A and B are shown apart, each in its own frame.
Chain A
Amino acid sequence: MSTSMVSSVEAARRKRAFTIMTLLFVLIVIVFIISMDTGQLKLTPHEVLRTLIGKGDAKQELILFQFRLPRMVMSLLIGAAFAVSGCILQGVTRNALAEPGILGINAGAGLVVVLFISVVPVSGTIYLLPLLALAGAGGTAALIFSLAYRRNQGISTIRMLLVGIAVAAGISAAMLVLTLRLNPEQFKFVQVWLAGSILGTDWRFVLALVPWLVVLLPLVFFKARVLDVMNLGDLTASGLGTSLNRERLIMYASAVGLAGAAVAVGGAIGFVGLIGPHLARRLVGPQHPYLLPASALAGALLLIISDTFARLYNIPTGIVVAVLGAPYFLYLLMRTKGSSS
């Protein structure tokens, strides 16, 4: 009897989660269609449709296929990657504030980019940036892991957070000194990049990002239950036989891979990683098998909306994300009951 009750609760939960995810997906499709029409040069839905089936003029084709679509696809992917990365980190660290920035990803990527910009002229080398940013992010994350690792204890989450903050602070300081020496043109480029601007006028960036998501997202979704177990607390988790440190390492590494790849092409769009999972958790609850895909959808939706505005007004996407997301986040915070101390 009790098992059937549990499973009926579970079934109801699953049904609700799937309904919400379908809803999110439909919303994404609607925004995607609107976004195709919007931009500095407006296309009517009719023109978009005609261009899509290959009957537009050359200019419309150029705008849609070479500029608008790659950037839109990219913002969907980046949003999903950041949000899932944030969701993993919030789960593993059991810290509601955790986001990819904690792993030093933004700082590491930023430092390498600033270093590069300060020695090489801005123009003409833009295609190297994603690669460098990814290297910087990965290197910093590896540094933080190795500093936080203890042979007998593995990686404790609080040590990880503290080490991450220390390393990020050190890198920011170095970056500050470097940026003050840049000339105004270089400074502006770095500033815009760090504020999160999608370098998305090229399908090659999309191609660079897709493999990471194709490999990592299924892996993470497959491992979702592990995060649920971790949420029970270390003692319970090891009691239940999860080999905690190995699982943690896999999860951290996935989070780094996702966020690192996203930063590489999108700059430091930090807020999605924080707000995407919160939004998803509010919608589908704390079970990771639903939470992770819902986070991906929420992040993708948030970013494509933000990027549509960003294109319209020609400002970095990260800024729009924060301006749209922060008030909503505050509202969310005030609405929810103060049960979670």
Chain B
Amino acid sequence: MVQSHSFSEPERPAVTIQSRPLAAILLLVGGSALLLLSAALSIAVGAADISLATVWESLVHFNPDLTSHQVIHQLRIPRVIAGALTGAAFATAGALMQGMTRNPIADSGLLGINAGSGLLLAICFAFFPGMSFVHLLFFSFIGAALAAGIVFGAGSMVKGGLTPVRLVLAGAAVSALMLAISEAIAIHYNVGQELAFWYAGGMQGVQWAQVKIITPWILGSIVVAILMSRSITLLSLGEDIATGLGQRTGLVKAIGALLILILAGASVSIVGAVGFVGLIIPHVARYLVGVDYRWILPCSAVLGSLLVVLADIGARMFNPFAETPLGALIAILGVPFFLYLAMNERREL
């Protein structure tokens, strides 16, 4: 069987753990500061522009009678929190996947998460039109979990254990299946465009209720991911090495898969299939701070947040009334950079 991780080229030396802690700390501090700044900007910018002073005012002296304060509290703040959270979640999930599967092109769509969520959404749009947003969210999450469950389940039933390549292959198969069924439903019941709108990604309708549901899950998962980051680094060196060093690789992979499911499932259910964050941010992080996942994971989280918050600002500035799909915008920002990385590819996984 052809293997996916036999990528190494002859001129490249063997992978060693090279990390740049100083760069990582700088990135974490600077990135967080930038994130706060962008969050403030994100609250201020939109169909109705609000000055930063008013933003501050509404935070410290909230006055429910002022429309601007209402807009800030009911629309802008949940939106920016959702952006930051989902960005961090997508990026962390992507980093986990890339580390665990040793596959540089792994992203959140790979475990069938996007496709599973899309299938249940297609069913909802076709059979229960006019369903409330919170319910859609719930079903989208169920679909993501279902798909990831099948992928992981099928992967575990493999004789000889769950290997990275098999996990990825199972993901591709389940994705294709779910996508095909949802396409069939979408075409037959004529709900394709509705589905496309959801999929395109955006945070126009984000409400506090949704933010409250996802926040503990996402934050908790990121913390657990960072706690187990050393094990991820070992896994990224190869299963044999990890096992040789006494790691219980099965357990690490099971926890990792669960974290990916929660992180990506929750995010897809809120902002749609914004896949590029999970693909590109871990590459950027690895490029900047080296190959130690103890640094890659937190840096990915911060960079992912930053990217989504900035892109969301862009989506509103670009065309305030018919917002550009977030996924498309992130791709426009991300593609050139990813291309740059790809073209100067040095194996640093």
Contact = CB atoms under 8 A, between A and B. Distances in A.
Interface centre among A159, A166, A234 (most CB of B within 10 A): A166
Nearest to A162: B342
A233 interface: yes
Interface string B182-215: 0110111010110011011000000000000000
A192 B2 contact: no
B1 interface: yes
A253 interface: no
Interface string B99-133: 00000110000000000000000000000000000
Given A91-B2, A337-B159, A339-B160, A184 B174 contact: no
Interface string B165-186: 1101110111011011101101
A250 B165 CA distance: 27
A274 interface: yes
Interface string B218-244: 000000000000000000000100000
B15 interface: no
Given A176-B327, A338-B159, A338-B160, A326 B173 contact: yes
B158 A333 contact: yes
B187 A188 contact: yes
Contact of A333 (B169, B181, B199, B342): B169
B196 A179 contact: yes
A322 B176 contact: yes
Contacts of A191: 183, 186-187, 192
A136 interface: no
A167 B339 contact: yes
Contacts of B334: 169
Contacts, number: 200
Contacts of B157: 334
Interface stretch (A12-20, A60-68, A94-102, A201-209): A94-102
A336 B1 contact: yes
B159 A322 contact: no
B6 interface: yes
Nearest to B159: A337
Contacts of A325: 173, 176
Interface residues of B, number: 68
A234 B166 CA distance: 24
B172 A315 contact: no
Contacts of A95: 2-4, 7
Contact of B345 (A159, A231, A321, A341): A159
Contacts of B94: none
Interface in A258-293: 270-271, 274, 281, 286
A157 interface: yes
A235 interface: yes
A316 to B, nearest CB: 7
B339 A166 contact: yes
A285 to B, nearest CB: 10
Given A180-B325, A334-B158, A173 B331 contact: yes
Main secondary structure of the interface of B (DSSP, over half): helix
A91 B3 CA distance: 10
A319 B184 contact: yes
B164 interface: yes
A163 interface: yes
Interface in B1-50: 1-7, 9-11
Contacts of A163: 339, 342-343
A95 B5 CA distance: 8
Given A184-B193, A188-B192, A231 B104 contact: no
B3 A340 contact: yes
Contact of B196 (A180, A315, A320): A180
B138 interface: no
**A-B CB proximity, top 9 nearest:** A338-B160, A173-B331, A322-B180, A162-B342, A326-B177, A170-B335, A340-B1, A173-B328, A235-B10
Interface of B: 1-7, 9-11, 104-105, 154-155, 157-166, 168-170, 172-174, 176-177, 179-181, 183-184, 186-188, 190, 192-193, 196-197, 199-200, 239, 275-276, 279, 324-325, 327-332, 334-335, 338-339, 341-343, 345, 347
23 contacts: A95-B2, A96-B3, A156-B9, A161-B104, A162-B342, A162-B345, A169-B338, A173-B327, A173-B331, A179-B196, A180-B193, A180-B196, A187-B196, A195-B183, A235-B10, A271-B176, A274-B176, A319-B184, A320-B180, A322-B179, A334-B159, A335-B159, A341-B164
